[in-house]
Amino acid sequence: MNIYERLVKNGGVRTNKEGMEQAAGQTSNHSRPIIIFMVGDVMTGRGIDQALPHPSDPRLYEPYMKSAIGYVRLAEEANGAIQKPVEFPYIWGDALEEMGKWRPDVRIINLETAVTTSEDYWRGKDIHYRMHPENIRCLTAAQIDCCTLANNHVLDWGYPGLIETLETLKKANLKSIGAGRNIKEAEAPAVVEVTGKSRVFVFSFGAETSGIPRAWAASKDKPGVNLLKDLSDTPVPQIAEQVRKVKRVGDVVVASIHWGGNWGYEIPGEQIQFAHQLIDEAEVDVIHGHSSHHAKGIEVYQEKLILYGCGDFLDDYEGIGGYEEFRDDLVLMYFASMDSSAGKLVRLVMRPFQIKRFRLNRASAEDARWIGDTLNGECKKFGTRLELDEDNFLILRWK
């Protein structure tokens, strides 16, 4: 009996308006929690784009690789042939079945790829991610609700690339946040109405520490991203005011933040302080952190969830050496059950996967244990720990 079946048996699954069962934990008032699906960076450009039905021009302007086809070859040399073109749902692999079981109310990804045919690549930047707009169905195949865009790749193909990205996502009925035609649009949250419940607001922010050029900051008259130039006290009152304008009793607010470097488990004190301030002063309920290529420590502060780094979820890094000790081929899917009456965390369950041939495959027991053991070393300072159950789910425990 896996965790989903146990939740059904124990009454932790409620039936929604359409009669579909959903997995969740129990809340104090015995209503079904809001389930939020979150992952880190989804990078469907470059090699993955070349494997999809409508590949972009493969030319790259990188010091390491001059054609995106080269990343496909590296992946095939590492793990075997990819039968191209792959179907749009292919890249999600076993993750689609997992999402089907849990049926989350909200699905959030950090889309770290411009969706454009623009050739106006950003000069002076080494890496440029681009997916052809006709491949957008690889995202709709997973029924994604929100794509956060305040990251260091959304403007890789210039302002025309950003505008086309925004338009393509809108046409596909995908909410985009964190970037826009001006600062007002970039700051605006996405709102997801949860049937029979309240609302989930998602705000998207990007920090310079993640590699976002300061020139990418949106302004009153210029497109760009919702950039946090630093994590000092200055942004918190502004964010608090933005939250107060929209949040009502019963709403859940998610702050999705692209911050920090790509490698290493250390969490800077300024990130911890900023996360705590968002919870204490801005009424944020969930911190959805990303930018690191591997998962990082998890904190529960004032009964609110802080994911300091979700890690990559989809990328084309197979066959690229240099950081093997971080096992960036192992990724996590996060299901956070939230008591919307108070915005408190009820349960966090994670499912480990392994990226192989540009596809998400359920991780082995050995690999799932490695992730759990590694993260437990990082979670200890926060008073949290992960338990691995017999079905290779990782379950967060906290005091």
Domain range summary for the chain, segments of one domain joined by +: 33-398
Say whether pLDDT at 198 is over 90.
no
pLDDT, residue 310, reads: 98
Say whether pLDDT at 19 is over 50.
no
Give Cβ neighbours of residue 192 (< 8 Å, ≥ 6 apart). Answer: 105, 106, 145, 146, 175, 199, 200, 202
Task: Please compute the mean of the pLDDT values over residues 305-315 and round it to a whole number.
Answer: 98
pLDDT, residue 25, reads: 40
Phi, psi for 289 (deg, rounded to 5): -90, 150
Q: How large a percentage of the chain has pLDDT more than 90?
A: 87
- pLDDT tens, 238-256? 999 999 999 999 999 999 9
Task: Please compute the mean of the pLDDT values over residues 165-183 and round it to a whole number.
Answer: 98
Taking only Cα atoms into account, the Rg of the chain, rounded to an integer number of angstroms, comes to 20
Q: How large a percentage of the chain has pLDDT more than 70?
A: 92
User: Considering the domain 33-398 in this protein, what is its CATH number?
Assistant: 3.60.21.10
Other beta carbons within 10 angstroms of residue 373's beta carbon come to 11
Going by pLDDT thresholds of 50, 70 and 90, the confidence category of residue 12 is: very low
pLDDT, residue 365, reads: 96
pLDDT, residue 28, reads: 44
What's the 3-state SS for 335-395?
A: EEEEECCCCEEEEEEEEEEEEECCEEEECCHHHHHHHHHHHHHHHHHHCEEEEECCCCCEE
Give the orientation angle of helix 235-246 with respect to helix 269-282, to 10 degrees: 40
Say whether pLDDT at 8 is over 50.
no
Going by pLDDT thresholds of 50, 70 and 90, the confidence category of residue 16 is: very low
Task: Please compute the mean of the pLDDT values over residues 312-341 and round it to a whole number.
Answer: 95
Say whether pLDDT at 6 is over 70.
no
pLDDT, residue 3, reads: 64
Task: Please compute the mean of the pLDDT values over residues 356-364 and round it to a whole number.
Answer: 98
Going by pLDDT thresholds of 50, 70 and 90, the confidence category of residue 13 is: very low
Going by pLDDT thresholds of 50, 70 and 90, the confidence category of residue 389 is: very high
Going by pLDDT thresholds of 50, 70 and 90, the confidence category of residue 4 is: low
Burial class of residue 376 in the structure, from the number of CB atoms within 10 Å of its CB (0-12 exposed, 13-18 middle, 19+ buried): middle
pLDDT, residue 195, reads: 79
Going by pLDDT thresholds of 50, 70 and 90, the confidence category of residue 18 is: very low
Give Cβ neighbours of residue 111 (< 8 Å, ≥ 6 apart). Answer: 42, 44, 139, 147, 148, 149, 151, 154, 169, 176
Residue ranges of E strands in 101-213: 106-111, 114-115, 130-131, 146-148, 175-177, 179-180, 190-193, 199-207
Residue count (the chain): 399
Task: Please compute the mean of the pLDDT values over residues 131-137 and round it to a whole number.
Answer: 98
Higher pLDDT, 197 or 325: 325
3-class state of residue 30 by DSSP: coil
Say whether pLDDT at 355 is over 90.
yes
Mean pLDDT score of the chain: 92
